[in-house]
């Protein structure tokens, strides 16, 4: 489950006063590209809300938050939550969840908390309240003595600092509520929540065109076109496996993938972007995957071409 949350990258933290709101709310998140929800036990509606989402929106990565007791953890799991999140590090709750086999992200706010988590065999914890504790600077400081631990910062995470957190390799995902503002939940404004979720996902995936590769029949034809483009824009030519004009146009010395060529799309996390695009129904050609020395995916082609071009993701 933690692997799935890491691929999702962002966990909406939800409070519902009416359990009946949970299903349309989670559908709005899913339609916005974020099939994840942490429904908090901050209201009496939480348990029933979890049950309804589990039954009616089964594709959502569904968790229970603000779990304070073993009994709440059991109720949440029975209702359909598939991970447990607590605001603090309560050894009794953590031990109970581990004994029961419930994935748990306990809240930590100090080195002492993290050492307790390590002692109990955990490899990931929630950092709460992340903003008040110093944000990403504090997490980076904690990563020094505890390099084996991974973090899910929550509290004070927003659109302005999301990528500061996610760009640090020890951060698995972030918890946040700015895409589920309470006024929109209470007003049942599911369209607004869908739009905010879509904006958050777009921000996280950060797609941009890195370069366009244009197919040519041979190296001579590629050189001719490179010279013409360089003359047109006064961009330098760099020759390697192919010709690059400036940084954005690649002239292929032989026909490559795609009828006309290919488009390279940059993203901060290729594995995460692949997961999200697969949720949208796109299929990838795993035979084209490339990985870095750390084993992380850095390059992969979408299986089908579009408008005569093949598209691949590449690590920024």
pLDDT band at residue 184 under the 50/70/90 scheme: very high
- Are the C-beta atoms of residues 72 and 97 closer than 8 Å to each other? no
pLDDT tens for 41-70 read 999 999 999 999 999 999 999 999 999 999
Sequence ranges of the domains in the chain: 2-205, 208-315
User: How much is the pLDDT for 310?
Assistant: 98
- Mean pLDDT, the chain, whole residue set: 98
User: Looking at 15, 27, 38, 271, which residue is catalytic?
Assistant: 38
- Are the C-beta atoms of residues 301 and 288 closer than 8 Å to each other? yes
pLDDT tens for 208-252 read 999 999 999 999 999 999 999 999 999 999 999 999 999 999 999
User: How much is the pLDDT for 306?
Assistant: 98
d(CA 180, CA 14): 7
User: Looking at 126, 250, 253, 274, which residue is catalytic?
Assistant: 126
**Of 96, 90, 131, the residue nearest 113 (C-alpha):** 90
Q: Give the total residue count for the chain.
A: 316
Q: What fold characterizes domain 2-205?
A: TIM Barrel (3.20.20)
Looking at residue 84, what DSSP letter applies? Answer: E
* 38 is annotated as an active-site residue: yes
**Of 54, 55, 20, 19, the residue nearest 37 (C-alpha):** 54
User: How much is the pLDDT for 55?
Assistant: 98
**Of 185, 144, 163, 220, the residue nearest 42 (C-alpha):** 185
CATH classification (class only), 208-315: alpha beta
* 126 is annotated as an active-site residue: yes
User: How much is the pLDDT for 101?
Assistant: 98
d(CA 12, CA 52): 17
pLDDT tens for 89-124 read 999 999 999 999 999 999 999 999 999 999 999 999
d(CA 258, CA 249): 15
pLDDT tens for 5-45 read 999 999 999 999 999 999 999 999 999 999 999 999 999 99
pTM, rounded to two decimals: 0.95
User: How much is the pLDDT for 84?
Assistant: 98
Helices (runs of H) and strands (runs of E) counted in the chain: 12, 17
């Amino acid at each position: 489950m933690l692997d799935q949350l890491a691929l999702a990258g962002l966990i909406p933290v939800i409070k519902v006063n009416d359990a009946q709101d949970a299903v349309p709310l989670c559908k709005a998140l899913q339609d916005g590209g974020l099939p994840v929800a942490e429904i908090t036990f901050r209201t009496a509606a939480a348990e029933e809300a979890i049950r309804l989402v589990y039954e009616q929106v089964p594709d959502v990565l569904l968790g229970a938050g603000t779990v304070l007791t073993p009994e709440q953890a059991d109720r949440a799991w029975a209702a359909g939550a598939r991970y447990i999140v607590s605001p603090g590090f309560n050894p009794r709750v953590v031990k109970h969840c581990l004994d029961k086999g419930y994935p748990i992200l306990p809240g930590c706010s100090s080195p002492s908390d993290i050492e307790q988590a390590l002692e109990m065999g955990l490899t990931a914890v929630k950092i709460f309240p992340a903003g008040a504790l110093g944000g990403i600077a504090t997490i980076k400081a904690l990563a020094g003595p505890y390099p084996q631990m991974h973090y899910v910062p929550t509290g004070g995470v927003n659109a302005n600092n999301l990528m500061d957190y996610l760009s640090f390799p020890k951060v698995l995902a972030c918890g946040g509520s700015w895409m589920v503002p309470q006024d929109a939940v209470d007003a049942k404004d599911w369209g607004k929540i869908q739009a905010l979720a879509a904006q958050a996902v777009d921000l996280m995936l950060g797609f941009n065109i890195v370069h366009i590769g244009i197919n040519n029949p041979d190296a001579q034809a590629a050189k001719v076109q490179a010279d013409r483009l360089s003359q047109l824009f006064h961009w330098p030519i760099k020759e390697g496996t192919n010709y690059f004009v400036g940084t954005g146009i690649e002239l292929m010395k032989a026909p490559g993938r795609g009828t006309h060529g290919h488009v390279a799309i940059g993203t901060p996390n290729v594995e995460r972007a692949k997961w999200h695009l697969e949720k949208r129904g796109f299929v990838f050609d795993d035979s084209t995957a490339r990985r870095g020395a750390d084993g992380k995916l850095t390059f992969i082609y979408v299986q089908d071409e579009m408008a005569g071009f093949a598209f691949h993701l590449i690590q920024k």
